Amino acid sequence: MTASTNLPQLVIGGGVVGLHAAIALASQPGHPEIFLLEKEKFLGDHTSSRNSEVIHAGFAYPKDSNKAKWCVEGNRLTYQWLDRLKVPYKRCGKWLVAFNEQEVPALTATLENGEKCGVGGMRPASLAELRKKEPGCADFGGVIFSETSGMMDAASYLRALERCFAAQENCMLIYPCAVTAIHPEKNTIETTRGPMEYSLLVNCGGLFADEIYKMAGGKKDYRIKPFKGEYMIWRKGPIQEVIYPVPRRFLPGGDKDKRLVSSMGVHLHRGVGGDLYVGPTQVELDWSQKTDYNIVTPPQEFALQASQYTKKEIPVGELEPAYAGNRPKLYIDGNPYGDFLILREKKQIHILGTDSPGLTAAPAIAQEVLRQVSAP
Ligand SMILES: Cc1cc2nc3c(=O)[nH]c(=O)nc-3n(C[C@H](O)[C@H](O)[C@H](O)COP(=O)(O)OP(=O)(O)OC[C@H]3O[C@@H](n4cnc5c(N)ncnc54)[C@H](O)[C@@H]3O)c2cc1C
């Protein structure tokens, strides 16, 4: 597929994946016009601004999966982008803890998996070392530390990516502008702002990428199911940085459930802005509930989860509802797929299943899009 005609290249979806894909396309020498189309009034209105803002290291995903490859590469690239765009972040690392002795083998499995996936900067740590940084933490069964994990200000990142793309020649953002129909036989689309022709269409629709795939004539049974992740703020919480449980898929039986591939469990993280968050939950929603962002999990549940990290019980009144985001999990033929999927069909590229770690992986996903566009 080459950018051989002067017709525009279109990117559908102004989240972090679409922004990076559009910026990557703008790096092609002599590229045609590039339009980024977003249906909402703001870029990143959905998943890209409703997540944990963690720059993941990449140790949690199956070796050779797209998630592992693009998260490890995306981690490196994301720090470069944050520096280049002067976006606030902290390279604080991440503590991973076993709540009890039974979970310790899962910590070991996480370390081994990280090594297999090429993640640098992971090491066993002691409770004493953790206590020096986090005096308020509980008596864990085991601890490891991931040095390359960090926290970013995702809202600033999106705005900076938007400016970066818009500043380039022949690059335009159009929003609000929803793509309402695609005619692959004519290489045209219809939008709420009128029709457009294209030489290349890149579907970065996140939760709605399955609908765009179908609009474009896609025949396979690809569907995106939303899994809600809710957060509460804990203003009096004693944790200073980022503490996660061992990834759920390394617990006994966890590897059999592909819905758990990106499930890190409820953790505590202090954002770049200084607030401590408890979350995210994982609530499986109905197919149609893609934009249901109500917090439904009771505060008692958050208090219970958060108290596992601290020495004391947490009064429910200390927790305030914050926000929720929906993970776009890809299902193929009715089964959870558990990975990112990039599909190239003639003049179309579809990016499906951008749940976690898509914020981190986005620049690496964009490089893959560019590779596919440049391939003969
Ligand atoms: C609870 C939660 C926690 C997470 N935590 C992390 C984390 O800590 N670290 C990490 O790396 N990742 C994390 N993620 C994952 C990360 O947020 C996503 O992978 C990433 O934001 C996906 O970006 P996107 O661009 O694919 O989707 P989106 O941000 O949803 O963007 C897609 C865009 O497409 C637009 N669109 C859809 N249909 C159309 C149409 N027809 N016409 C025009 N525009 C359209 C939408 O309006 C939307 O703006 C988390 C996700 C969740 C839900």
Residues 38, 174 contacting (CB under 8 angstroms):
yes
Q: How far is the CA of 363 from the centre of ligand 1 (A)?
A: 14
pLDDT band for position 312 (cuts 50, 70, 90):
confident
Q: Is residue 338 part of a domain?
A: no
* Percentage of the chain modeled with pLDDT above 90: 91
Strands 142-146 and 122-125: antiparallel
- Ligand 1, CB cutoff 6 Å, lining residues: 12-18, 37-40, 44-48, 50-54, 56, 178-179, 204-208, 212, 229, 280, 325-327, 354-360
Q: Is residue 141 part of a domain?
A: yes
Range of the domain at 307: 91-149+225-327
Q: How far is the CA of 258 from the centre of ligand 1 (A)?
A: 19
pLDDT at position 2 is: 45
Q: Is residue 80 part of a domain?
A: no
Q: Is residue 210 part of a domain?
A: no
Mutate to test the pocket of ligand 1, among 179, 356, 365, 368 (most ligand atoms within 8 A of CB): 356
Q: Is residue 352 part of a domain?
A: no
Beta strands in 131-289 (DSSP E): 142-146, 150-152, 171-174, 179-183, 188-191, 194-197, 200-203, 222-234, 242-245, 267-270, 276-279, 283-284
pLDDT above 60: residue 3: no
pLDDT at position 257 is: 76
pLDDT band for position 5 (cuts 50, 70, 90):
low
CATH code assigned at 116: 3.30.9.10
The model's pLDDT over 362-376, given as tens digits with 9 standing for 90+, comes to 999 999 999 999 887
Q: What backbone torsions phi and psi does residue 272 show, to the nearest 5 degrees? A: -60, -30
Residues 236, 214 contacting (CB under 8 angstroms):
no
Q: Is residue 357 part of a domain?
A: no
Q: Is residue 305 part of a domain?
A: yes
Predicted model pTM? 0.97
Q: How many domains does the chain have?
A: 1
pLDDT band for position 264 (cuts 50, 70, 90):
confident
The model's pLDDT over 45-72, given as tens digits with 9 standing for 90+, comes to 999 999 999 999 999 999 999 999 999 9
Q: Is residue 218 part of a domain?
A: no
Position in ligand 1 atom list of the atom nearest CA 43: 49
